[in-house]
Structure 1
């Protein structure tokens, strides 16, 4: 069963190094790049480059370069016409050797905003126009788990788009939901417990994306798709970390149904990040984790369109929710 990412959310899972790939639709203000990985035990340095084109001598609009060299620091720079610009640095190291991390680089009008493990870290002012950036490059002493390009749908324009060979990730957002769709704006680092209204209800082919982190001491978390007026739960997802299982169920007319426990793997582990995509189909929910099929859950609530609330609670830190 193929994983189909929702528009506006373009992930790559377990990419190999060196990574040097086009940014879908090119870079735009409003986009965010999420990089999840693990720093090597003997890490010395790694880098992330926002590149204009591909190949030797390409300009680098933003160079992000953590260095473990006895004077632990992170270096920021740009390169134009083969020459590095004025180096900026921060003598603080937000990465730990051997530890998982989540690096978010947000493209804002005035600068790149760097966030590490949910904490703002640095802002680097633009030296090269954002719209010229076409590729992302990552390499160094780390293992990549995922690279996710989020948002950045192009503004309507009769003129040519940069990189016409790569359609914008938001291309289908205004079309009928014959492709996976998401209705709401993304929420970054929301507090837990989390509760949000699903505007328009849970229509077929709607996809909800949840990215988060399970703390090392985590024991359990819950994700509920509810009917607000009745309290019915169409889908209850309950990773039980101490048991190593992901329980699914429904709560209808005041009663819990039969539990389902079998899954192809378990992405919810203490000290690890997860990336969950939950797609509502005509007859079932299709759930993927880190790009792999996790489980299906057949609809038990006949009017699943009445589901209008998403709740998340328990031992979890949320980094991104898109409904």
Structure 2
């Protein structure tokens, strides 16, 4: 079963480097870009560029360059009409060899906000008008495991706490409910023994879909809570792709008869509906021993 990203959500797993992609609809305030990556064995530098056109000769609105040469530092700049502008330098390197790291770019009207590993790292003011920025590229000595553009296109979607990470317990309102063809996406890292993701009806507190990875028991529990009673637990799964301490992306897509669940871009299981008024399923909850980078719906 093919992975179908939520409208407005562009996701790529293990893309080849260099990697270039168009930003659907162009870059706008309230959008975000998430990168999860590691460094290869032989590394010297890598870069992330927000550009106006595709190709090496494009203007670069925001250039992020991580440089490892004994004076490890991050360099920020812009290039216009072939000319590099004044560099901004931060003598700090949060992107370490041997560790998975994350970069989260939040786009505002005034600047780019960069969070590294869930912590605010740098602010860079716009030097090229935001409406001209339509491409994203990653190059150099980097292994990208996951790249996501959040809030692309023209649709209206909910994007929650894309600057750094979400405060738990997290609760988000799904406008119009989990009607067919709608998806929610949760990106995070499992930090402890278990966590929960619930799709529920706020007015009744009923849970249409309850997802509970229990790492201490090696199970991935699915269930529902309707009319004050928990239903039959579903634990069967061919292979559990979730591991304690690992980053994950969980995408839950509503169809006519079931929720389809994709983990890290691959179909993992389905959950047949036990509550059928999907328009009432209007709340996403996340809690437990987990760090959530963002939730998109």
What TM-score results when the alignment is normalised by the length of structure 1?
0.83
Pair 1:195-2:171 in alignment: yes
Q: Report the counterpart of residue 12 of structure 2 in structure 1.
A: 12
Q: Report the counterpart of residue 146 of structure 1 in structure 2.
A: 146
Does the Cα contact within 8 Å between 1:213 and 1:271 map onto a contact in 2? yes
Q: Which SS does the other structure have where 1:270 is aligned?
A: coil
Q: How many residues align?
A: 295
Over residues 228-266 of structure 1, what are the superposed CA-to-partner deviations in whole Å (9 max), with x where a residue is unaligned?
Answer: 454432211111223443221223344433322233543
Pair 1:101-2:85 in alignment: no
CA distance in 2, matches of 1:198, 1:36: 26
Pair 1:170-2:150 in alignment: no
Pair 1:40-2:40 in alignment: yes
CA distance in 1, matches of 2:279, 2:238: 28
Please report how far the alpha carbon of residue 285 of structure 1 lies from its aligned counterpart in structure 2 after TM superposition: 0.7
Does the Cα contact within 8 Å between 1:247 and 1:259 map onto a contact in 2? yes
CA distance in 2, matches of 1:32, 1:185: 9
CA distance in 2, matches of 1:232, 1:65: 48
Q: Report the counterpart of residue 277 of structure 1 in structure 2.
A: 251
Output aligned runs, 1:216-227, within 5 Å: 218-227=192-201
Does the Cα contact within 8 Å between 2:95 and 2:101 map onto a contact in 1? yes
Q: Report the counterpart of residue 179 of structure 1 in structure 2.
A: none
Q: Report the counterpart of residue 52 of structure 2 in structure 1.
A: 52
Q: Report the counterpart of residue 181 of structure 2 in structure 1.
A: 205
Over residues 196-238 of structure 1, what are the superposed CA-to-partner deviations in whole Å (9 max), with x where a residue is unaligned?
Answer: 34444332332112111222xx111111223345443221111
Q: Which SS does the other structure have where 1:285 is aligned?
A: strand
Please report how far the alpha carbon of residue 193 of structure 1 lies from its aligned counterpart in structure 2 after TM superposition: 1.5
Unaligned runs of 5+ in 1: 153-168, 174-181
What TM-score results when the alignment is normalised by the length of structure 2?
0.89
Q: Report the counterpart of residue 288 of structure 1 in structure 2.
A: 262
Over residues 141-161 of structure 1, what are the superposed CA-to-partner deviations in whole Å (9 max), with x where a residue is unaligned?
Answer: 221122211125xxxxxxxxx
Q: Report the counterpart of residue 259 of structure 1 in structure 2.
A: 233
Q: Which SS does the other structure have where 1:131 is aligned?
A: helix
Would the alpha carbon gap of residues 196 and 29 (structure 1) be closer, same or farther in structure 2, given more than 3 Å must change?
Answer: closer
CA distance in 2, matches of 1:91, 1:294: 42
Does the Cα contact within 8 Å between 2:150 and 2:159 map onto a contact in 1? no
CA distance in 2, matches of 1:11, 1:97: 24
Would the alpha carbon gap of residues 302 and 38 (structure 1) be closer, same or farther in structure 2, given more than 3 Å must change?
Answer: same
Q: Report the counterpart of residue 289 of structure 2 in structure 1.
A: 315
Please report how far the alpha carbon of residue 89 of structure 1 lies from its aligned counterpart in structure 2 after TM superposition: 0.5
Unaligned runs of 5+ in 2: none
Among residues 211, 216, 219, which one is paired with 1:242 in the alignment? 216
Q: Report the counterpart of residue 28 of structure 2 in structure 1.
A: 28
CA RMSD of aligned residues (A): 2.2
Would the alpha carbon gap of residues 114 and 301 (structure 1) be closer, same or farther in structure 2, given more than 3 Å must change?
Answer: same
Over residues 259-279 of structure 1, what are the superposed CA-to-partner deviations in whole Å (9 max), with x where a residue is unaligned?
Answer: 222335434223322112111
